[in-house]
Amino acid sequence: MALKRIEREEGIKRTGYSLLSQWTEMSDRKKVEGIRVVKISDGTVIDHITAGHALQVLQILGITGKEDYVVTLAMNISSSKTGRKDIVKLEHRFLEGHEVARVALVAPDATLNLIENGKVTRKTRIQLPDMIEDVITCPNQRCVTNKEREPVTPKFQVVAKDPISLKCHYCWTMVDETDIVAQFTQTK
Ligand SMILES: [Zn+2]
């Protein structure tokens, strides 16, 4: 009898232990699944977006949410690098050069991950150059870049990156993030 009881108690202990380890396993798996939910098989992941700027990135790319591909947005995620960051994942969407240049304006420290077959095939750090050519137009209607006949290619000097501040190379008109985002959402 006594032996049996010990065996049973040990059994309970064992079960308890295995339940505990199972639970730990499950919570680990949950973590992994949590990541997998937003994982995309192919497309673009824009990572390390300045915290709070993910919406501007979507706006600047003309993404409204009415597209037929999955758009995942995560804001204020803790990051070891920058403290907090935003992430945008675009399924089946690959960015063109001029789109990358636009993203750089509102997320100058972002990284672009190209995803193919569930794997990151290319990782590039977005770089905002000191001079931006032919990405945005000058809001000053009288600027040489807005001349109807023989307009000059718009050129802006990057005065500050965070928050972004640009100065027209020709007429010195200042442009901020609100102007930039408005320009790309108006043309849509
Ligand atoms: Zn100008």
pLDDT of residue 35: 47
Distance 159 CA to ligand 1 centre (A): 14
Q: Is 57 in contact with 6 (CB distance < 8 Å)?
A: no
CB 50: neighbour CB atoms within 10 A? 21
pLDDT of residue 8: 53
Angle at 92 between CA 89 and CA 95, to 5 degrees: 70
Q: How many CA atoms lie within 13 A of 179 on its CB side?
A: 16
Distance 126 CA to ligand 1 centre (A): 25
Give the separation between CA 45 and CA 111, rounded to whole angstroms: 8
Q: What is the pLDDT along the chain (188 residues), one digit of tens a residue?
A: 455 555 555 544 444 444 444 444 545 544 444 444 567 899 999 999 999 999 999 999 999 889 899 999 999 988 877 689 999 999 999 999 889 999 999 998 899 999 999 999 999 999 888 999 999 999 999 999 999 888 899 999 999 988 899 999 999 999 999 999 898 886 44
pTM for the structure as a whole: 0.73
pLDDT of residue 15: 47
CA-nearest of 130, 136, 127 to 173 is: 136
| Rounded (10°) CA dihedral 38, 40, 43, 46 | 30
Please state the φ and ψ torsions of residue 127, each to the nearest 5 degrees: -130, 125
Distance 156 CA to ligand 1 centre (A): 8
Token duo for residue 76: 């204020």
Distance 50 CA to ligand 1 centre (A): 27
Query: What SS3 state is found at 40?
Result: coil
Distance 72 CA to ligand 1 centre (A): 36
